[in-house]
Homo-oligomer: A and B are copies of this chain.
Amino acid sequence: MATVRLLTDAELSPEARAVFDEIRAARKTDHVNDFWRALAHDPVSLRRTWESIRQVMAPGALDPLVKEMLYVAVSIANGCDYCIHTHTASARAKGMTEAQFLELVAVVGMASETNRMVGAFGVEVDEIYRQP
């Protein structure tokens, strides 16, 4: 259940509609995720968020699949169920195999375990890892 109503295409402002057109063109599908339908109440945030994601997730020094897997990993760590589902779907669409997804889950679990053990012991960063 949402805290704001999800806007239908007919209810979009012209500014929001323009972003939806870009999303549909970029994603090559008519389906626009419900997150964007919630955010469409605020066309300025909608545009800023869409452009930031497009820029951050574009191919660069990291390939888009690795970026998508990093996105999934962070979403798991932050406990965002919606984000886990949508970005896992994106990663699969970009070629993530089931074996890769299962290894990703194992890494996220292991990191979460040692993150907390390190905190419990209150270990400070080893001298050799400090910047001069």
Mark A residues whose CB is within 8 Å of B. Answer: 1-6, 31, 33-35, 38-39, 41-42, 44-45, 48-49, 52-53, 55-57, 60-62, 66-67, 69-89, 97-126, 128-131
Contact = CB atoms under 8 A, between A and B. Distances in A.
A49 to B, nearest CB: 7
A109 B41 CA distance: 16
Given A107-B71, A129-B86, A81 B122 contact: yes
A122 B45 contact: no
Chain A interface main SS type: helix
A116 to B, nearest CB: 4
Contacts of A55: 44, 48
B79 A3 contact: no
A100 B66 CA distance: 11
Task: Report which residue of A33, A39, A69, A88 has the largest number of chain B beta carbons within 10 angstroms of its beta carbon.
Answer: A39
A75 B111 contact: yes
Given A66-B69, A110-B53, A84 B117 contact: no
A19 to B, nearest CB: 15
Q: Which 7 A-B pairs have the closest CB atoms?
A: A77-B77, A61-B99, A113-B113, A38-B121, A74-B111, A80-B115, A42-B102
17 contacts: A1-B124, A1-B125, A3-B88, A4-B121, A31-B126, A35-B121, A42-B105, A56-B109, A56-B110, A62-B69, A66-B66, A73-B74, A74-B107, A78-B116, A81-B125, A86-B129, A109-B113
